[in-house]
Amino acid sequence: MISYEEFKSRDHFEKHELLAFAYGRLIDDAPEALKARLPTPPMLMVDRVLEISGQKSRGRIVAERDVNLDDWFFQCHFQSDPVQPGCLGLDGVWQLLGFYCNWRGGLGTGRALGCGEVEFFGQIRPHDSVIRYEVDVKRYAEIAHAEACMVIGSARLLVDDEEIYTVDGARVGLFQGIDYPDYPRRSENSKGGRLER
């Protein structure tokens, strides 16, 4: 485990640290309002953060994911034509932007809020090796009166150093009071629907 201040000062994270963050066990003295998590495997789409930096409202994240011959999505998408769903690459961008919000000190539970434009002009197949995410944070803002924060970014995804996707205007927010820690019980946050704006 590491301290909250150490977490916010780090410029890279290894796979075991991202897994610990996903399970809520990375930060020893995390603020009570730090509820956000990365997804756990198999939905976690990042194996390591090589670079994370920020200054004022801008920043950058560079991360990688290893492609595995037996990845779960190759088993079902599609029979006799295995390819990683493009939406999982986009989800990896959202995961990284949410993680960036936490790293910058944002509190609450993370939610993807949308994106502007996505272009797919390549594919990820079982015998590829490494997916690289290069995410430029265009704007990070904390909204004190709403107890929330938001990040907007653009990204390139490369497989084995060849660009295959671009994402523009991806948005993620952290919101307090929307987590559902007592799953599967029925409780105040056990039903979805529109978030208040």
Residue 47, domain member (yes or no): yes
Strands (E), the chain: 48-55, 58-66, 109-114, 117-120, 130-143, 148-159, 162-175
Assigned domain for 159 exists: yes
Active site residues: 77
Query: Does residue 183 form part of some domain?
Result: no
CA dist 110 and 153 (Å) reads: 15
| CB-facing half-sphere around the CA of 138: CA atoms within 13 A | 12
10 is a domain residue: yes
pLDDT of residue 196 exceeding 80: no
Q: What is the pLDDT of residue 42?
A: 97
- Looking at residues 155-169, what average pLDDT do you find? 98
d(CA 167, CA 39): 20
The predicted pLDDT at position 31 comes to 94
* Domain residue limits at 121: 4-175
In a domain, 185, yes or no: no
DSSP 15: H
Number of domains the chain contains: 1
Q: Is the dihedral of CA 61, 112, 152, 30 positive or negative?
A: negative
Measured between alpha carbons, how far is 143 from 173 in angstroms, rounded to an integer?
10
Average pLDDT of the chain is 96
Q: Indicate whether 191 belongs to any domain.
A: no
CATH number at residue 17: 3.10.129.10
Residue that is written with structure tokens 């990042």 in the block: 46
Banded pLDDT at 197 (limits 50, 70, 90): low
Least confident of 8-12, 162-166, 168-172, 188-192: 188-192
146 pLDDT above the threshold of 90: no
- pLDDT tens-digit series, residues 80-137: 999 999 999 999 999 999 999 999 999 999 999 999 999 999 999 999 999 999 999 9
Whether 152 and 138 have beta carbons less than 8 Å apart is answered as yes
Provide the token pair at 76.
Answer: 């079902």
Residue 8's H or E segment, with its range, is helix 4-9
pLDDT band at 147 (very low <50, low <70, confident <90, very high): confident
CA distance 145 to 196: 14
Separation of alpha carbons 48 and 167, rounded Å: 20
Instruction: Answer whether the bond into residue 99 is a cis peptide, omega within 30°.
Output: no
Residue 103: inside a domain: yes
Q: Which two tokens stand for residue 128?
A: 């590829």
